[in-house]
Copies of this chain bind each other. A is one copy, B any other.
Amino acid sequence: MPAVILNDVGPRDGLQNQSKVLEPIDRVRLVHALLDSGVTHVEAGAFVSPRAVPAMAGAADVMAGLYDEARGGVTPVLTFLVPNLRGYELAREAGVRSVCMVLYGSERMAEANVQMSRVDAEHATAEILQRAQRDGVRVTTTVAVAFECPWEGPTDPGRIASLASEFLARGADEFCVADTIGAANPRQVQKLMQRLAGENGAARLSCHFHDTRAMGLVNVYAALETGIRKFDAAISGLGGCPFAPGASGNVATEDVVMMLEQMGLSTGIDLDALMRASSLATQLTGTAPGGRARAWLQRADL
């Protein structure tokens, strides 16, 4: 068993924020390249309106194309985001066995994302969670803007703590704390995750960091120090952030793997194969190579 589990959100959170829209077949290629490197958890798509989010159109085709048999004794966890009951039903019809639903740390982010109040979004998520449990579907609930909202400023840590306790009590398999805009600093992360781990145990908690302000890796480390052992990351740092033009997006999977492995924490991921997935990601999207570790990983004498 790896010491730390990484969930690559590049094929969803990453691609959703790229200007180039990829065909389902190319999204499948990217997921397979990740699985080939030893990544066991991938956020592979979203069942959302193709008009609202063209990059995620054809999620059922992605799911149909995915090879998700056990590799090395481990069955990959291929997660799709669902924003509402309709999305959940489509995901189920497509055979999805793991879904991710989003909660909101602020009112305005909920409105901007799903045109619902924060509390209505919580009710909708609770309802789908109940359905998913009956259906035997795995559920991650992710709380967006858990540290700071671009409109409302700092998020009340007590609100995040309440959401974590509530949704873990409701049976969510994972509660993910997301720094959606990359505004968190390691001191905040340390404080919030220590509280959440103290109240709920660390086993079902995870974190999602963006590298917007170059603090992706340091925030991963601060969370590790509190016992968190599961992280979102995106291959090649795909993502970008609409609030910070030119900024990098999600913390790059290759950066996180490199740091963890050098710290002696196994990830089960082969870095050479991961770099091939990274090259594929940049080739498909036409973006500049991301991931700040790349220069070192690709040095001549490696």
Contact partner of A244 among B246, B248, B263, B296, CB < 8 A? B296
Q: Residues of B contacting A246 with CB < 8 Å?
A: 295, 298-299
Structural contact, A187 and B264, CB atoms closer than 8 A: yes
Interface residue? A29 (CB, 8 A) = no
Interface residue? A232 (CB, 8 A) = no
Interface residue? A185 (CB, 8 A) = yes
Per assembly, the copies of the chain total 2
Interface string of A269-302 (1 = CB under 8 A from B): 0000000000000000000000011011011110
Q: Residues of B contacting A293 with CB < 8 Å?
A: 213-214
Q: Which of A30-38, A80-88, A100-108, A217-225 contacts B (4 or more CB under 8 A)?
A: A217-225
Q: Given A217-B217, A218-B218 in contact, is the A185-B245 Cβ separation under 8 Å?
A: no
Interface residue? A262 (CB, 8 A) = yes
Structural contact, A262 and B213, CB atoms closer than 8 A: yes
Q: Given A186-B263, A221-B186 in contact, is the A258-B214 Cβ separation under 8 Å?
A: yes
Q: Residues of B contacting A215 with CB < 8 Å?
A: 217, 259, 262
Inter-chain CA distance A248–B301, complex, in Å, is 16
Q: Residues of B contacting A187 with CB < 8 Å?
A: 263-264
- Minimum CB–CB distance for A282 against chain B, Å: 16
Q: Residues of B contacting A259 with CB < 8 Å?
A: 185-186, 213-215, 218
Q: Given A215-B259, A255-B214 in contact, is the A295-B221 Cβ separation under 8 Å?
A: no
Interface residues on A, range: 20 to 34
- Shortest Cβ distance from A262 into B: residue: B185
Interface string of A32-71 (1 = CB under 8 A from B): 0000000000000000000000000000000000000000
- Minimum CB–CB distance for A171 against chain B, Å: 34
Q: Residues of B contacting A250 with CB < 8 Å?
A: none
Interface residue? A247 (CB, 8 A) = yes
Interface residue? A236 (CB, 8 A) = no
- Minimum CB–CB distance for A233 against chain B, Å: 13
Give 7 nearest A-B pairs by CB, closest first: A214-B292, A247-B295, A246-B295, A218-B218, A185-B262, A187-B263, A213-B296
Q: List 11 A-B contacts (CB under 8 A).
A: A182-B296, A186-B263, A214-B292, A215-B262, A218-B218, A243-B301, A244-B295, A244-B299, A245-B299, A246-B295, A246-B299
